[in-house]
Structure 1
Amino acid sequence: MHWKTRGAIGALALTLAACSQTPTGRSQLTLFSDEELDRMGEQSFAQYQQQLPTVGGQTADYVQCVAQSVTQAASSGENWEVKIFKDDSANAFALPGGYIGVNTGLLKVAENQDQLATVLGHEVAHVLAQHANERVSTQAATQTGLSVLQSAAGLDSQGGQQLMGLLGMGAEYGIIKPFSRTQESEADVLGLELMAQAGFDPRASINLWQNMSANSQGQPPVWMSTHPSDGQRIEGLQAQMDQALAAYQQARANGRTPNCQRPS
């Protein structure tokens, strides 16, 4: 058998072996181990902290309260580290390895704990659904070929260094980059359920995205450049609202009643 044919079969076998499913049942390509993604998340979070100052005090306590309620509902087993960054952009992110970042600009748009939980539930859902792994796996398979993945014994190897360069480590905070519209819509559905299970009112998600639309003045922020439009997003949330409200009512009945105090 020609070596190119053998290589193609090997690459195909690797791809098939690396297929998994998201919590919604959608097939995805995940070529990296949890340990590799956690390491990428750790490095990206460290780079972000080098770029922006952090905020403490009552603001940090408030965000930590909301984030803890959401992550406990996720039952992911992660001990999540939460940081608030002094930045006017209405942004937040969650990274593999258990890292959450919230910009102070988001707190001007998310007017209460339920609206903030909408965003954090969405971002944590990205992690739980392995969207970062899917994105970098697809990018790596497309741009560098599976031969690079096969040669990458670890992130410190030559192949691993190629992957780290591809992922933009040292620029754009590594894997903190836009997800696809499919992934965004999926995170909306999963995040809505997650915030409801944490005891936050899912109806606040509609208000949050209305605020986002007003704040963007007709132009989506850079971090939302590949996201569904606000109108499409709201329609998708409304379609899931009955199920989310049932989860919310069950959570409240079970004693999940978060009371995170927003600083005045």
Structure 2
Amino acid sequence: MKFIVTALLGLLLVGCTKTPLTNRSQFMMISPDQEMTLGATEAKKVVETSKISTDKKLQDRVKRIGAQIAAVSGRSDFAWEFTVIQDDTPNAFCLPGGKVFFYTGILKITENDDQIATVMGHEIAHALARHGAERMSMQNASNIGAQVLAVALNVPAQYQNLYAQAYGVTSQVGLILPYSRTFEHEADQIGLYLMWKAGYNPAQAVKFWENMARLSKSSQKPPAFLSTHPADEERIREIRAYIAQLPVTR
């Protein structure tokens, strides 16, 4: 009982934040300082373990677009860095604190600067909205919840590990995966606003995701409800709706 009370009090004392632009309330158990430290540590690991592209023209292009979008992000406290990694995987990501990494694989899919800005805005949006910290917070809460319920329901000690595993699967499908898809939609919306604010054409976002949809059709994907990303058709439909909501003037 003491453990249950302590755990519940801990959950009640977590920070309460809201996402930029969408103004969604967030559940946070990770402080901004912890998040920044983690981002800096992981960025160093990425640089040390990855093959950095030697294509100066490509590096300069990504840095230019990244700097323009970072300038309208409202986070001058971030130590923005933009790096291209030589890797054919169609991927990009932004770590807490503004460390952005683009794989050459995704740059092969982008047809122009506007489409690079689409990806850049989306990844920067993840960092601005603190999606990584929020996901970690939910996972931590899920782990605590499994232990609390096991004790509260008087699950025998020899079965508590099995119970926790089953609970983890349930929370993954029922809570964490849907929120991951929420994060993706949110990053699309915030990212579109950022690229528009920086002077890029949001309509190119539709073309980029159509390109990604064609690419994904050639590979097996899990059902939408078991994926951290929304279905391609759903995403493109939502992006068109977000574009329609953008202000008339910057």
Between stretches 210-219 and 65-74, larger displacement belongs to 210-219
Question: In structure 2, what is the equivalent of residue 132 of structure 1?
Answer: 132
- Identity in percent: 36
Question: In structure 2, what is the equivalent of residue 22 of structure 1?
Answer: 19
Structure 2 gap segments, 5+ residues each:
148-178
CA drift of 1:64 comes to 0.5
Kindly indicate whether the alpha-carbon contact (under 8 Å) linking 1:90 and 1:104 is maintained by their aligned counterparts in 2: yes
User: 2:28, 2:12 → 1: CA distance?
Assistant: 13
User: 1:93, 1:114 → 2: CA distance?
Assistant: 17
CA drift of 1:192 comes to 0.6
Question: In structure 2, what is the equivalent of residue 70 of structure 1?
Answer: 69
Question: In structure 2, what is the equivalent of residue 239 of structure 1?
Answer: 241
Give CA-to-partner distance per residue, 1:178-219, whole Å, 9 cap, x none.
Answer: x70011011111111111001000000000001111222343
CA drift of 1:4 comes to 4.2
Kindly indicate whether the alpha-carbon contact (under 8 Å) linking 1:140 and 1:146 is maintained by their aligned counterparts in 2: no
Query: Which amino acid counterpart does residue 211 of structure 2 have in structure 1?
Result: N
Q: Write out aligned runs for 1:42-121 (5 A).
A: 42-56=40-54, 57-77=56-76, 78-121=78-121
CA drift of 1:35 comes to 1.2
Query: Which amino acid counterpart does residue 61 of structure 1 have in structure 2?
Result: D
Query: Which amino acid counterpart does residue 90 of structure 1 have in structure 2?
Result: P
Aligned residue pairs, count: 214
User: 1:204, 1:88 → 2: CA distance?
Assistant: 22
Question: In structure 2, what is the equivalent of residue 256 of structure 1?
Answer: none
Compute the RMSD of aligned alpha carbons. Answer: 2.5
Kindly indicate whether the alpha-carbon contact (under 8 Å) linking 1:89 and 1:105 is maintained by their aligned counterparts in 2: yes
Q: Return the TM-score normalized by structure 1.
A: 0.74
User: 2:66, 2:218 → 1: CA distance?
Assistant: 29
- Structure with greater helix share of residues: 2
Question: In structure 2, what is the equivalent of residue 206 of structure 1?
Answer: 206
Q: Return the TM-score normalized by structure 2.
A: 0.78
Structure 1 gap segments, 5+ residues each:
148-178, 252-264
Question: In structure 2, what is the equivalent of residue 229 of structure 1?
Answer: 231
Change (3 A) 1:69 1:221: farther
Secondary structure, in 3 states, of the residue corresponding to 1:228?
A: coil
User: 2:221, 2:99 → 1: CA distance?
Assistant: 22
User: 1:61, 1:43 → 2: CA distance?
Assistant: 24
CA drift of 1:9 comes to 4.7
User: 2:8, 2:216 → 1: CA distance?
Assistant: 48
User: 1:135, 1:52 → 2: CA distance?
Assistant: 25
Kindly indicate whether the alpha-carbon contact (under 8 Å) linking 1:19 and 1:28 is maintained by their aligned counterparts in 2: yes
Change (3 A) 1:221 1:193: farther
Question: In structure 2, what is the equivalent of residue 32 of structure 1?
Answer: 30
Kindly indicate whether the alpha-carbon contact (under 8 Å) linking 1:92 and 1:103 is maintained by their aligned counterparts in 2: yes
Kindly indicate whether the alpha-carbon contact (under 8 Å) linking 2:11 and 2:141 is maintained by their aligned counterparts in 1: no
Kindly indicate whether the alpha-carbon contact (under 8 Å) linking 1:19 and 1:30 is maintained by their aligned counterparts in 2: yes
Give CA-to-partner distance per residue, 1:90-140, whole Å, 9 cap, x none.
Answer: 111111112000000111101110001001101111111111110011111
CA drift of 1:8 comes to 4.5
